[in-house]
């Protein structure tokens, strides 16, 4: 998934005010919205790619999901959200949207932005991207075995996020669309009047800037993370994570190769001429 950045520490306390909660589903333009919000001056928008990029953050999200959806541990309150998101003025995408109710309550001054698209269009994109890269494969299992803390943590967070969202491991188009629509209805119900903007990113800057009270930038509204870009981002992240593991694997790999070579020559000496 995202590149590993374990050297980046969590803020542990709030250093900037939380101002925007972008609670739309993945594949509704959330990556474009992240760039747009940062262009408008919102320091650090914690997007799904960011949430999957730090081991400590992954662990906190797993704890939060287990507490809320599986009854394991204590549900997060304002103190825990500040520890996790204290250097962010905005959030977007998964796994943040699983905690719409908690975040809306924890940050009553923050405005809520709900990126949307038709369920049919969303499912086509979601199926070709998020579900595709989360399919359990031999490579996925190998990655988790090689790096249980980071790559294994990413896979566990993704698995728990799906379960929390759809309540099943066997996701179908109908179940996914129902979960999509239910989430949007919940956010509409939870958000106080005047705090919610629902829009599609193809509408551009005007509705977003009017809602947030910002001047419209001269540049075009960002348009990123289409299907091909999504897969390249994921592939680059996985390559970086495995490259980071190379020094750890070099010793055992060389030892294994040496053992095989030694065994081969021992057998050669015992073969009759």
Q: How far apart are CA 7 and CA 160, in angstroms?
A: 25
| Core vs surface per residue 151-188: b (16+ CB within 10 A) or e | bbbbbbbbebbbebbbeeeebeeeebbebbeebbeebe
pLDDT at residue 1, as a whole number: 46
Residue 13 lies in a domain: no
The total of structural domains in the chain comes to: 1
Q: Quick count: other Cβ atoms within 10 Å of Cβ 216?
A: 13
- CA gap 251, 151 in Å, rounded: 20
Q: Tens place of pLDDT for every residue, the chain, 273 residues? A: 444 444 468 888 999 999 999 999 999 999 999 999 999 999 899 998 888 989 999 999 999 999 999 999 999 999 999 999 999 999 999 999 999 999 999 999 999 999 999 999 999 999 998 888 777 778 778 878 888 898 899 999 999 999 999 999 899 999 999 999 999 999 999 999 999 999 999 999 999 999 999 999 999 999 985 656 665 655 565 566 556 666 665 555 555 655 667 676 677 666 554
pLDDT value of residue 28: 96
**Could you give the count of Cα atoms lying within 13 Å of 10 in the half-sphere of its Cβ?**
19
Cα end-to-end distance, the chain, whole Å? 54
Does residue 95 belong to any structural domain of this protein?
yes
Pairing, β 111-115 against β 90-92: unpaired
**Residue 165 forms part of a structural domain:** yes
Q: Tell me, what CATH number does 167's domain have? A: 3.40.50.300
Examine residue 129 and state whether it is found in any structural domain, yes or no: yes
Site of tokens 């099943």:
168
Residue 201 lies in a domain: yes
Question: Is 58 contained in some domain?
Answer: yes
Q: Looking at residue 224, what is its pLDDT? A: 82
The reported pLDDT for the residue numbered 238 is 57
Q: What is the pLDDT of residues 16-39, one digit of tens each?
A: 999 999 999 999 999 999 999 999
Which strand ranges, in their side-by-side order, compose the sheet holding 45-46?
45-46, 90-92, 20-22, 111-115, 196-199
Q: Alpha-carbon distance 55 to 71, whole Å?
A: 22
Distance CA 249, CA 103 (A): 41
Domain extent at residue 179: 20-270
| 2 is a domain residue | no
Is 0.85 topped by the overall pTM? no
Instruction: Give the span between the Cα atoms of 162 and 41, in whole angstroms.
Output: 32
**Per-residue pLDDT, 59:** 96
């Amino acid at each position: 998934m995202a590149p590993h950045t374990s050297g980046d520490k969590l803020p542990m306390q709030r250093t900037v005010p939380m101002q925007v909660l972008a609670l739309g589903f993945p594949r509704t333009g959330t990556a474009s919205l992240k760039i747009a919000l940062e262009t408008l001056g919102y320091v650090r928008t914690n997007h799904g790619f960011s949430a999957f990029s730090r081991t400590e953050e992954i662990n906190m999200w797993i704890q939060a999901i287990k507490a809320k959806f599986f009854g394991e541990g204590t549900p997060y309150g304002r103190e825990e959200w500040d520890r996790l998101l204290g250097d962010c003025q905005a959030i977007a995408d998964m796994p943040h949207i699983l905690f719409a109710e908690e975040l809306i309550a924890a940050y009553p001054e923050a405005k809520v932005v709900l990126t949307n698209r038709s369920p049919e269009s969303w499912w086509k994109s979601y199926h070709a991207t998020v579900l595709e890269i989360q399919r359990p494969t031999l490579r996925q299992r190998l990655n988790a075995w090689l790096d249980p803390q980071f790559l294994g943590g990413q896979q566990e967070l993704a698995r728990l996020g799906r379960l929390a969202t759809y309540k099943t491991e066997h996701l179908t188009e109908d179940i996914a669309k129902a979960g999509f629509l239910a989430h949007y209805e919940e956010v509409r119900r939870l958000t106080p009047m005047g705090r919610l903007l629902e829009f599609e990113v193809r509408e551009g800057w005007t509705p977003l800037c009017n809602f947030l009270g910002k001047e419209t930038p001269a540049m075009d509204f960002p348009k990123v993370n289409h299907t091909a870009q999504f897969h390249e981002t994921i592939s680059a992240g996985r390559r970086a994570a495995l490259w980071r593991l190379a020094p750890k694997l070099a010793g055992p790999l060389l030892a294994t190769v040496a053992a095989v070579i030694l065994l081969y020559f021992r057998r050669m000496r015992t073969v009759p001429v």
